[in-house]
Structure 1
Amino acid sequence: MKKLKSYYLHVKHPHTMERKWIFPVAIASIISLFVLFLTTLTSSDGTPLLPLRRHYSFSSSTVAAASSIFVESKLKLVPVSTLPPPPRLAYLISGSAGDGLMLRRTLEALYHPNNQYVVHLDAESSADERVDLHNYVNSHVIFRRFENVRMITKANLVTYRGPTMVANTLHAAAILLKEGGDWDWFINLSASDYPLVTQDDLLHTFSNLPRDLNFIDHTSDIGWKEFQRAKPVIIDPGLYMTKKTDVFWITQRRSVPTAFKLFTGSAWMALSRSFVDYCIWGWDNLPRTVLMYYANFLSSPEGYFHTVICNAPEFHNTTVNSDLHFISWDNPPKQHPHYLALDDMQRMVDSNAPFARKFHHDDPVLDKIDAELLFRGPGMLVPGGWCIGSSENGTDPCSVVGNTTVLRPTAGAKRLKSLTNHLLSNENFRPRQCK
């Protein structure tokens, strides 16, 4: 009966019954906190003022054994690197009939495992030449290992004077966006181009640059091109024919556009991934509108990307006014570059440019560039920090692959650094953007 009454009182007046325990619990909590506080106090030499006595002790052998069992005593903090990771580049290397072997040589001189590559021989090249390039890409041990070289097997017909070159460039960019993984800059080159620095030099220098920069030679002072290119209307048979023929003109002329401002410049450029993505997707329709206009524009590769980037508010402040090339032009109007030879070697080096054009196939100056600037043996890849094999007796050091993020820059990195410092200086960067 007493138990039943107690239970009833507890159910009827639960708070009254619980109050009896509040005071003892509060006192015990305060005492525990006070004791814990005393154990944390230390003297000036770091010894505890109120040490807690253990009821057991370790011998020296026991401590040593414990240290060998638990890994925490061996862990050390790894310092976090403040260096930015090396960028990744995406290349388009294009050629036409007879360019197969030169394209291979340019690809070998530009190769790095962390980059991405699209190679293209246009429809004017023979089927045998394209098959040879395809077999070379698929059978190369390093290319197969890293799977970063792709060939456009359904060849496009490309004419420099019409819009087909722009279409081919956008085609390669779309492939690289879809299949190329992460990369930072898109660089378009031809089989007549050749590097003057190693990829380690280029990646090392670009590691310290903002990834949104666009290297594109441009100007709005189109001069004589207004009357000879902007106002005439041309048709490029390469858009609908299977054989390459020259463009032809429509008798009617058009006025200069007012919806956007025309820009012109070099057809060779290094574009940021964000801008290439914008050109492909064109979320505000400007890239498509400009592309339709340049479909009837003579030598559209010298104006399409330039006009898009300088009329896009999101990108016009990202331009660096340079195509990163050494080119020996003819007399004005600078439309036909001279072929480079041994006599031009010193001028190429002094330009600090990472690329040069144009070269004849297998010109002796290419061998000199390989030997003195790229340190590359015949038929080999350009060695970098990722190549850890021996180079004795003509062995390719890149046949043995190490850490692909390790860079081993040469003197070319200093030259390229000097160029980028000049281009990004207060005198040359902002004042030359989209002017």
Structure 2
Amino acid sequence: MNAAPNYDQKKPGIQKMTQLETVKSGFLVCIVGSVFIFAFIYVWNTIPKEDNEHKAVPELAECGFYPDELCSALFEGKEAAPRIGHLCQQALGGQEISACIRTPCNCSMVQKRLHFITSPLSEEEGNFSLAYIITIHKELDMFIKLLRAIYAPQNVYCIHIDNKSSKDYKAAVKTLVNCFENIFIASKRENVIYAGFSRLQADINCMKDLIHSKNQWNYVINLCGQDYPIKTNKEIIQYIKSKWNGKNMTPGIVQPPHIKHRTHVSYKEYIHSGKAYVYPTKNVKSQPPHNLTIYFGGAYYILTRKFVEFTLTDKRAKDLLEWSRDTYSPDEHFWITLNRLPDAPGATPDAKWEGGIRAIKWRDQEGKSHNGCRGHYIRDICVYGLGDLKWIIESPNLFANKFEPTTYPLVMECLERRHRLKLLQQAEVPLEEHWYLQEHVHFNMKLNI
């Protein structure tokens, strides 16, 4: 008689399948556990720790509301601040301040919404007028940030808009400019090409307009759309009066050998399919007019009114301008060459690189004048990142270059807040509520002055 089957014993195939399923389950548990552990480690390393260093840095949740402490940490060069700052970039940046001038709005509202200073902040400033030449072609928000930082009702501003700029951009700038009696657009505009004569001509166009303006300004300063002031209007005036009273500031030296190619052969400007550049020809240039010694320096200056009149009327200046039409980057030799003439108004014949107009991190100066760029380089010039803020505010220069608020919004956010706070602290008149950039006037930002 056959024995009854034992259903408690599993068949060999079934037993193997069960063992396989057990292994698979264990493997899945292992994977899930590993993912959990790695996720925990990542979050732990990302969240700021509660040590003494991070107590000076706000929590991430507060980035969009109280960024002054974060900015202070960046200005102090605290090690963790740039990392936390990058996490806060999107919370603090990205707000288009230009939206105010793209919608119907009366000029009084535009001035208030954009926080323009509407009265001289001291008697000293009210009695010393500065003229500004600003060449722009893009990034409307950056232009507004620059303009409201340097704006004062006793000053005068000539805005040169590149002819290649879009119609919408030109219209927006015009809308803003029309709200101020002391700001105007250059009467003649150029298709500006980097390193071309058109860049120099743009400044001269503005100078002609400024000379005929009703404002009796003392000095003229030229800027581009990616500049921003480190010093306040009062500090700029005091620096000029104490160090350069009646003198022009054109940092530079006699043209060095490796630069002479710029004026040795003719160059031509070329625009095609939206691309513009300057290229050399094989034509050798004549010697400079009037046996002038050609100097080399920065394209940015601070000039007296009398010197500007001289450059527009003197025979040597006119001939040098004409000779410079086919040179490379003539704005880097024109102003300084004329300012080294002993009989030019406010001339500084023996000056070299003195002046301290602009703070720039050049790539070839790493390890010499700076410790590297914390943003990125464009044409060997640093576009400032968060780690550059301490270096910027410690610079003795009046302005800094170069900024890209769309790339590093928190850099501009911090500099704007610091600059406006310092400006208002120096004021000697009652303050208007709309002059504050901060929503909370009980802010506490360390200026490190």
Instruction: Say whether the fold is shared (TM-score over 0.5).
Output: yes
**Cα-to-partner distance string for 1:394-413 (whole Å, 9 max, x where unaligned):** x4369xxxxxxxxxxxx99x
| CA-CA distance at 1:200 after TM superposition | 2.3
Show structure 1 runs of 5+ residues with no match.
1-82, 399-410, 416-435
| CA-CA distance at 1:106 after TM superposition | 0.6
| CA-CA distance at 1:332 after TM superposition | 6.8
Give the distance between the partners of 2:238 and 2:135, measured in 1 at CA: 25
Aligned twin of 1:370: 416
| CA-CA distance at 1:210 after TM superposition | 5.2
Structure exhibiting the larger radius of gyration computed from Cα positions: 1
Aligned twin of 2:236: 202
Map 1:168-183; keep pairs closer than 5 Å: 168-183=202-217
**Cα-to-partner distance string for 1:367-402 (whole Å, 9 max, x where unaligned):** 1111223328xxxx97863763444xxx4369xxxx
Secondary structure of 1:295 counterpart: helix
| Contact 2:359 2:400 survives alignment (8 Å) | yes
Aligned twin of 1:130: 170
**Correspondence 1:270 to 2:286:** no
| Contact 2:131 2:219 survives alignment (8 Å) | yes
The number of aligned residues is 303
**Correspondence 1:324 to 2:363:** no
| Contact 1:86 1:207 survives alignment (8 Å) | no
Map 1:116-265; keep pairs closer than 5 Å: 116-139=156-179, 143=180, 147-152=181-186, 155-208=189-242, 211-226=245-260, 228-237=261-270, 245-254=276-285, 256-257=287-288, 259-265=291-297
**Cα-to-partner distance string for 1:210-257 (whole Å, 9 max, x where unaligned):** 54211111100422111x31212112247xx99763223322223654
Map 1:102-113; keep pairs closer than 5 Å: 102-113=142-153
Which shows bigger deviation, 330-339 or 273-282?
A: 330-339
**Cα-to-partner distance string for 1:245-287 (whole Å, 9 max, x where unaligned):** 32233222236547111101111111111111101122xx111
The 1:213–1:219 alpha-carbon spacing in structure 2 relative to 1, beyond 3 Å, is same
| CA-CA distance at 1:160 after TM superposition | 2.4
| CA-CA distance at 1:191 after TM superposition | 0.6
Secondary structure of 1:90 counterpart: strand
What amino acid is the match of 2:156?
Q
Give the distance between the partners of 2:411 and 2:208, measured in 1 at CA: 34
Give the distance between the partners of 2:172 and 2:125, measured in 1 at CA: 39
Residue in structure 2 matching 1:299, options 329, 337, 346? 329
| CA-CA distance at 1:152 after TM superposition | 2.5
Which shows bigger deviation, 117-126 or 200-209?
A: 200-209
Residue in structure 1 matching 2:131, options 90, 94, 101? 90
Give the distance between the partners of 1:246 and 1:272, measured in 2 at CA: 32
| CA-CA distance at 1:311 after TM superposition | 3.2
Give the distance between the partners of 2:221 and 2:273, measured in 1 at CA: 27
TM-score, normalised relative to structure 1: 0.62
The 1:84–1:337 alpha-carbon spacing in structure 2 relative to 1, beyond 3 Å, is closer
The 1:155–1:214 alpha-carbon spacing in structure 2 relative to 1, beyond 3 Å, is same
Secondary structure of 2:159 counterpart: strand
Aligned twin of 1:385: 427
Aligned twin of 2:117: none
Aligned twin of 1:33: none
Give the distance between the partners of 2:207 and 2:225, measured in 1 at CA: 17
Give the distance between the partners of 2:411 and 2:257, measured in 1 at CA: 35
The 1:256–1:309 alpha-carbon spacing in structure 2 relative to 1, beyond 3 Å, is same
What amino acid is the match of 1:107?
L
Identity of aligned residues (%): 20
The 1:84–1:327 alpha-carbon spacing in structure 2 relative to 1, beyond 3 Å, is closer
| Contact 1:340 1:358 survives alignment (8 Å) | yes
Aligned twin of 2:403: 359
| Contact 1:325 1:354 survives alignment (8 Å) | yes
The 1:323–1:122 alpha-carbon spacing in structure 2 relative to 1, beyond 3 Å, is farther
The Cα RMSD (Å) is 3.3
What amino acid is the match of 2:414?
K
**Cα-to-partner distance string for 1:146-180 (whole Å, 9 max, x where unaligned):** x1111236532111211111111011011111014
The 1:108–1:84 alpha-carbon spacing in structure 2 relative to 1, beyond 3 Å, is closer
| CA-CA distance at 1:85 after TM superposition | 7.6
| Contact 2:420 2:436 survives alignment (8 Å) | no
TM-score, normalised relative to structure 2: 0.61
What amino acid is the match of 1:111?
Y
What amino acid is the match of 2:396?
N
Aligned twin of 1:396: 435
| CA-CA distance at 1:84 after TM superposition | 10
